[in-house]
Amino acid sequence: MPVTAQSNSVSKSSAWAGRIISVLVVLFLLFDSAIKVLKLAAAVDGTVQVGYPATVVRPLGIVLLACVILYVIPRTSILGAILLTGYLGGATATMVRLSNPLFWMPIAVGVLAWLGSFLRDDRLRTLIPLRSSTPR
């Protein structure tokens, strides 16, 4: 059975759940980017502790902020989610390299970013339709 636009439409409850999840992700990532852009001691210390030079703190914050801005704008939200996935993948790789038990945190943020997008955006539901597993 072909997927139709009707079957992919977003219900009001799904859209609101997606917005709430997305807002939580955005707030967390805005905080993270802000402390990096402002080069607060916690951001500089954390970056140096994981093996990166202090000089990359502000550029990382700017890149993250740009990704978040793209994620927030409806027309570019999917591009923003893709770029956030790359950014968070780098964070995951860094934490795995260090055997940090919290390596799952950037993975969880990425999953939540995509879940928020999926719940609120029918374009994404068209690209990635979830289908029931009914036997044929």
Phi then psi dihedrals of residue 2, to 5 deg: -70, 150
- Whole-number pLDDT of residue 128: 84
CB 8 within 8 A of CB 126: yes
Cα–Cα nearest to 95, from 87, 84, 108, 105: 105
Residue spans of the domains in the chain: they are 12-127
- For 22-80, write each residue's pLDDT tens digit: 999 999 999 999 999 999 999 999 999 999 999 999 999 999 999 999 999 999 999 99
Query: Residue 1 corresponds to which amino acid?
Result: M
- For 87-136, write each residue's pLDDT tens digit: 999 999 999 999 999 999 999 999 999 999 999 988 888 888 877 666 65
CB 26 within 8 A of CB 72: yes
CB 108 within 8 A of CB 117: no
